[in-house]
Amino acid sequence: MKKFSRLLFVLLLASCLLTPSSLLAKSVSDNNEKIEALQKAGIITGYPDGSLGLDKPITRAEIAVILTKIKGELIEKNYQQIFNDLGKGHWAKFYVENASQIKNPQGISAIVGYPDGSFKPSNQITYAEILKILVAASKSDLTSADVKESTWPSSWIAWANSMGIIGPNSGIENPEPNKFAPRGHVFTMVYNAMSDDINKIETKAPENINEKTKELPKEIKIENTDGKKAAVDSEIGNIDSFNKGVTFNHGLFHQEFLKLINADRQNLGCDPLEWADDLTKGASTRSEELVANGSIDVNGKFHRRLDGRPWQTSLDYLEPQISTTTNGENLVEIINSSSNGNIAPKTRKFLTDEKFMAKTLYDLWWNSPGHRDNMMNPKFRYLNLQLRLGDHAKNVDKGKRTFYFVGTTHFRGDYK
């Protein structure tokens, strides 16, 4: 799977609606306690930095993970259902196929696929859709006749109100059915619907990645790890100094990124990725040619070489073995520019803070379902990440001082 991502620097207007503070505080507090209960039970884990992204939308695949963790005891072990858009390499395949078998005592399925045999794991969930899932999973007396006679989505909303999933004192008052439900509201509704099941789950302490049964790959060797290189301040922002590792420790950057990706892979039961030196040439070539192009968009197409060939040709030097395994590419571009020529504080962090850069790239890819699929793909066993800096970008006006970063991750499986 080949995807791309852009970081757009947008000024967000913070619109504060005047809400009675006492009522708002009580609602938030109650919801936070419910979300904390889900965390303690190990049902939700959040992002690598510990945040939960409560204002972000949630996907069908992520809902399947939650259902499986809560209702796992209801699943038949010899399940056979397969969705045509969930290949063996998809990170959520196990959870989706298990969640699709969760039914209430009357045989009503909690979550199902589409008539064409697909599941659409990356589709975001609306309020109406999550309410239907939670009602079907939790309303023990819901029958097929009820479902047949129901009206979409009003019947499901009415049932959800009667069950306390939404409505007065639920923490979710009057959701708009066709709007995408943010993660924070979904977590609250999940607790409202399934608190009895959740409270039966043994409380789990947050896992320390160093205590997991599968060890992380050995750290990449890094020279000069005692703080920053002895580079004078005037060299920060110099393109060659960054790319050659004078002002930016690429080894530390690689190590931090590998830790982030493997922490989440192990949370999902996937083997950790190892660093592949043989992919360095291909990933470097891609970042360097795209930096020279000033865009990861090549004549309106992505994952293309500058001459129009597919990105995979950057790995031709690994033939014939590269053709024996699966491979993938993630791209990202970051554009910082200024009119006065000065380096802004955030730009300086990109130029000098390896951990900050690693987390920025990881979060961008993690929050994009297609990129996340690549990072969590159990078929991939190796990766290489190369970051390059240029001084121009196609969509930046001439005359501005520009810092244009391109990151390329190449993945591969085992050679046959």
pLDDT in tens, the chain (416 residues): 444 433 443 222 222 233 332 333 333 448 888 988 888 887 887 665 567 889 999 999 999 989 988 886 545 444 455 788 887 667 788 788 888 889 999 999 999 999 999 999 999 999 999 999 999 999 999 999 999 999 999 999 999 999 999 998 889 988 999 999 999 999 999 999 998 888 776 444 333 333 333 333 444 444 444 444 444 456 777 899 999 998 999 999 999 999 999 999 888 878 899 999 999 999 999 999 999 999 998 988 888 999 999 999 999 999 999 999 999 999 999 988 777 778 888 888 999 999 999 999 999 998 888 889 889 988 899 999 999 999 988 877 777 888 999 999 999 999 88
State the Cα–Cα distance between residues 218 and 213, nearest whole angstrom.
15
Q: What is the pLDDT of residue 206?
A: 36
* 81: exposed, middle or buried (Cβ count in 10 Å: 0-12, 13-18, 19+): middle
Q: In what order do the strands lie in the sheet with 382-390?
A: 2-7, 327-338, 401-412, 382-390, 274-275
> Quick one: CA dihedral 234, 237, 240, 244, positive or negative?
positive
3-state secondary structure of 407: strand
Boundaries of every domain in the chain: 20-200, 212-221+229-412
Q: What is the pLDDT of residue 46?
A: 67
Strand partners, 6: 333
Q: What is the pLDDT of residue 285?
A: 97
Cα distances from 335 to residues 137, 241, 246, 289, 365, in angstroms, run 45, 18, 21, 16, 16
Cα distances from 43 to residues 67, 71, 191, 369, in angstroms, run 9, 11, 11, 20
Q: Which residues, 6+ apart, have CB-to-CB distance to 164 below 8 Å?
A: 170, 192
Q: How many CB atoms lie within 10 A of CB 311?
A: 22
Contact 384, 407 (CB under 8 A): no
Q: What is the pLDDT of residue 147?
A: 94
CA angle 234, 386, 88 (to 5 degrees): 155
Q: What is the pLDDT of residue 80?
A: 52
State the Cα–Cα distance between residues 335 and 404, nearest whole angstrom.
5
Helices (H), 268-382: 280-293, 345-352, 354-366, 369-376
State the Cα–Cα distance between residues 166 and 193, nearest whole angstrom.
9
State the Cα–Cα distance between residues 134 and 110, nearest whole angstrom.
7
Q: What is the pLDDT of residue 169?
A: 86
Specify the CATH architecture of the domain 212-221+229-412.
3-Layer(aba) Sandwich (3.40)
Q: Which residues, 6+ apart, have CB-to-CB distance to 21 below 8 Å?
A: none
Q: How many CB atoms lie within 10 A of CB 228?
A: 13
Tell me, what amino acid is at 277?
D
Q: What is the pLDDT of residue 68?
A: 87
Q: Residues of 19-58 as b/e, b for ≥16 C-beta within 10 angstroms? A: eeeeeeeebeeebeebbebbbbbbbbbebbeeebbbeebb
Q: What is the pLDDT of residue 50?
A: 61
pTM above 0.85, yes or no: no
